[in-house]
Amino acid sequence: MNTRKPNEPMIWAHRGRNRIAPENTMSAFVAALDAGDKGIELDVALSADYQPIVIHDDSVDRTTDGSGVVAAMSFKELRSLDAGAWFDSRFAAERLPDLRDVLAEVRDRVLLNIEFKSSAWNENPDISVDTIVMEMVARSGTEETIVYSSFSRKCLERVRRLDADARIGVLAHRGEDIGDVMLFAQKIGAYSIHPNTQDMKKAIRSGLNEWKGFVYPYTVGSRKNADQMDHLGADGYFADLPF
């Protein structure tokens, strides 16, 4: 793992500052910016008309006032939903973000980790989340501040084919063999590996400390857990903030 000062971990605001604003909304991202966070993580899926929309789940039920599968709804329908009232009435009428607005808001202020939802990946590159989002990022001129991550190996392989210089983060499933993850990460020239926090000790015993890139475990939820990740040598972590 990369050497760093122990008091300077790279902390990624997981879905924005999701404990003081509804996750994956502009309010959560602005809260992270206002707090001086170094990085923001968000999730991107595709609407039925192949527009990137910022949301974690495959359905809108948990984080909006709507019901249905994201991939079956138009961008206009998705943008009409209330994505804030479930969290607190102060955020009523908050919308699912248009990725273009997020890129404009965070431009040159933080690193942005864009997680591609595996359900939005398609064998056809013309209608797949990686191709569409990367073209949008290129148009915005923000390539230098983006890390692309996914649990989908096929998705990350295409990210590398699309951009030889892209920063790629390999997400490891809970319990996945870290040796296999490292081999894949090396194969595609990944920037970072993202193991589950509960797998960190086992991953280190399996050779994770030999990885030359960054290690950012997910998801830290307390100061005690953050201290554990620091002690284990992580370069930073994805965190539900604040804590």
Per-residue pLDDT of the chain (243 residues), as tens digits, is 444 445 689 999 999 999 999 999 999 999 999 999 999 999 999 999 999 999 999 999 999 999 999 999 999 999 999 999 999 999 999 999 999 999 999 999 999 999 999 999 999 999 999 999 999 999 999 999 999 999 999 999 999 999 999 999 999 999 999 999 999 999 999 999 999 999 999 999 999 999 999 999 999 999 999 999 999 999 999 999 999
SS3 of the chain: helix, strand, coil, percent, to 5: 40, 20, 40
CB 29 within 8 A of CB 42: yes
Cα-trace Rg, the chain: 17
Q: Which residue is listed with tokens 């994956």?
A: 24
CB 156 within 8 A of CB 124: no
Distance of alpha carbon 17 from alpha carbon 37, whole angstroms? 9
Which DSSP category does 196 fall into?
B
| 146-150/111-116 β-pairing | parallel
> Where do the domains of the chain lie?
10-239
Q: Which CATH architecture best describes the domain 10-239?
A: Alpha-Beta Barrel (3.20)
